[in-house]
Amino acid sequence: MFRFAIAALFGAISLTACAQQPAPTVAASAATPVADGPVEKHVRDALKELDPNLKPEYIGAAPFPGFREVLVSGQVLYVTDDGRYLLQGTPYDIEKKAQATSPGLLDYRRTLLATLPHSDRIVFAPPNAKYTVSVFTDIECGYCRKLHQDIAELNRNGIAVEYLAFPRMGLGSKDYTDMISVWCASDRKAALTAAKGGQPVPAKTCTNPVAMQYNLGQQLGINGTPAIFAADGSQLGGYLPPAQLKAALERIGTAGGSR
């Protein structure tokens, strides 16, 4: 598939995240329409040369001149306005000392994340949290377990963690069924903590959001866990120690709080 061809061509998984197994690409959300105009047409036409069936979910101005920021099967690409060159990577704003992301892409991510009900998340929050992060996680990944060991420290730093399910081995895997059992437990927080501690997961089933959250994570381009998103839609990467995560949130000014 195009998504995985692009990933193989341009980059590797973050060293602070556990890699996802290849999985089918899911349908894109129509929450944010693809921009239309002569420049965007150049970009669409260029991408069709790579794959005639390719349909970008989002096209908008890049955070630097001469490029359009494009979301294709969840992957962020940068295409020159004339449609000749394609780049994939994480641009860094030296002046702001942060990853460079356009307001349009941040809004797109916020819109997608907002479709996942708060009641379906497993939340570890302090009173009067200053920041809230949405974290796509699974129970097997070592970096996910390391992040969970930091929960108390994150809460002391005023950071609320809202977990979303992303079984990186894919739908139908043991990871997936175990995460359903966690989300179906009478005490989901205790079940998640136990599972991340390596304890056996008692089998349970119920109406659950695990597949929905996983599919939306695919749309966001997640290719490893943990995947941490700030309230403004910024993706902060994989595992970050509490002090670094707090510093990143302070830099982008994402005041959140428990909802």
Q: Is 150 a catalytic residue?
A: no
Q: Is 18 a catalytic residue?
A: no
Say which of 3, 44, 109, 168 is annotated catalytic: 168
Asked if 157 and 246 count as a contact pair (C-beta separation under 8 A), the reply is: yes
Strands of the chain (E only): list them: 18-19, 58-61, 67-72, 75-80, 86-87, 92-93, 98-99, 122-124, 131-137, 159-165, 224-225, 227-230, 235-237
Query: Quick one: the chain helix, strand, coil %, rounded to 5?
Result: 35, 20, 45
Q: 3-state class of 191 per DSSP? A: helix
Say which of 44, 68, 121, 138 is annotated catalytic: 138
By CB atoms closer than 10 A (0-12, 13-18, 19+), residue 138 is buried
Q: Is 138 a catalytic residue?
A: yes
Say which of 144, 150, 175, 178 is annotated catalytic: 144
Q: Is 206 a catalytic residue?
A: no
Q: Which two tokens stand for residue 259?
A: 């909802």
Residue in 25, 36, 30 with CA at minimum distance from that of residue 57: 30
Say which of 3, 18, 109, 141 is annotated catalytic: 141
Helix axes 188-196, 142-149, angle to 10 degrees: 120
Q: Which residues are catalytic?
A: 138, 141, 144, 168
